[in-house]
Amino acid sequence: MPLRKTQAVVIGRMALGESDRLVTFYARDCGKVRGVAKGARRPRSRFGSGLELFTQGQLLFFETERSDLARVDSFDILHSFQSVRENLERLMYGSWAVECLGRLSADRDPNPALYGLLLRTLKALETPCRPPRAAFCFALRAVDLLGHRLRLDRCLKCGTPSPFGSKSGRLDFTAGGLVCEPCATYGSDGVDLSGLAVGGLRRLRTLSWDEALRAVLPPALEVEMAGVLEAQMARLIGQVPRTTRFRTQARRALGVNGGSP
């Protein structure tokens, strides 16, 4: 049973048995790791509040031969991201980001860049920046890092450079990028995209993280671009993220309007 030590962030958790917890971590050196934390639900557990969602810590775990699940030995808090958990809007967008990450990444597939992106996103959610923008920037970069980057510079079929003047294009998820209006197949697996949104997405890709968080965008354009990323995430995951359903319900009940993600 080899012992591993790495930095990790808690991206999911569920009750297991009488007092244990099944915790999903995204670790810097190991990628997604699912492990059992024995007795973690007891009030005097040695894990304390360390296994709460978004907590970054030093993870010590044993690989077990009989199961894919690791045995969590300890998780010492490095940064709790408590303020993200204690604000409903930040929690909703942070949860959306970790759900997408958890569902799109395979177990034990290390991706330090993705780990760094997750930390940057959680840190952004702690600042006064708008939570939807932080989640949006996360999604835009995460799909690239996971190898699902969509081609936006020209039509995939005829090669016409984008944006296509006054005409809109269609983002074809199966084809893996943008197609111009004449080339778009009716009913294809994708979403319509205005020229402005194509330009906006390309611009946000090239900006640094801090610049992308601060970039001023017309609200309607931001909603359109966020909708595209939400659709791409749903396509990649195979269903609409659960956190999206939660957000829709919470907004309806609180009478808040807003775009996705």
Partner 1 sequence: MAYYPEPVARLIDALQKLPGIGPKTAQRLTFFLLKRPTEEVTALSEAIARVKAQIVNCSICFNVTEEDPCQICSDPARDARLLCVVEEPNDLLAMERTGQYRGRYHVLLGVLSPLDGIGPEDLRVRELLARLEGQPADEVILATNPNVEGEATAIYLAKLLKSLAPRVTRIARGLPVGGDLEYADEVTLGKALEGRREMG
Positions in the binding site for partner 1 (CB under 8 A): 12, 15-18, 43-44, 46, 48-50, 52-54, 77, 80, 82, 85-88, 91-92, 95-96, 98-99, 242-243, 245-250, 252-254
Which CB sits closer to partner 1, 42 or 203? 42
In the chain, what is the straight-line distance between the N-terminal and C-terminal CA atoms, in Å?
41
The CA-atom distances, in angstroms, between 26 and each of 180, 220, 254 are 38, 33, 32
Which CB sits closer to partner 1, 75 or 115? 75
> What span, in angstroms and rounded, lies between the C-alpha atoms of 48 and 77?
10
Least distance CB 22 / partner 1 (angstroms): 11
DSSP-derived letter for residue 152 is -
> What span, in angstroms and rounded, lies between the C-alpha atoms of 37 and 74?
8
> What span, in angstroms and rounded, lies between the C-alpha atoms of 167 and 182?
10
Which CB sits closer to partner 1, 12 or 132? 12
The CA-atom distances, in angstroms, between 253 and each of 194, 195, 248, 256 are 31, 34, 9, 8
Which CB sits closer to partner 1, 95 or 260? 95
Which CB sits closer to partner 1, 98 or 180? 98
> What span, in angstroms and rounded, lies between the C-alpha atoms of 49 and 214?
32
Least distance CB 118 / partner 1 (angstroms): 15
What is the number of residues in the chain?
A: 261
Task: Classify 158 as helix, strand or coil.
Answer: coil
The CA-atom distances, in angstroms, between 147 and each of 94, 155, 184 are 22, 20, 23
E strand intervals along the chain:
3-16, 20-27, 31-37, 56-62, 70-79, 169-172, 177-180, 190-193
Which CB sits closer to partner 1, 123 or 154? 123
Least distance CB 252 / partner 1 (angstroms): 8
Which CB sits closer to partner 1, 48 or 159? 48
Least distance CB 77 / partner 1 (angstroms): 6
Least distance CB 245 / partner 1 (angstroms): 4
Least distance CB 202 / partner 1 (angstroms): 31
Task: Classify 80 as helix, strand or coil.
Answer: coil
Least distance CB 47 / partner 1 (angstroms): 8
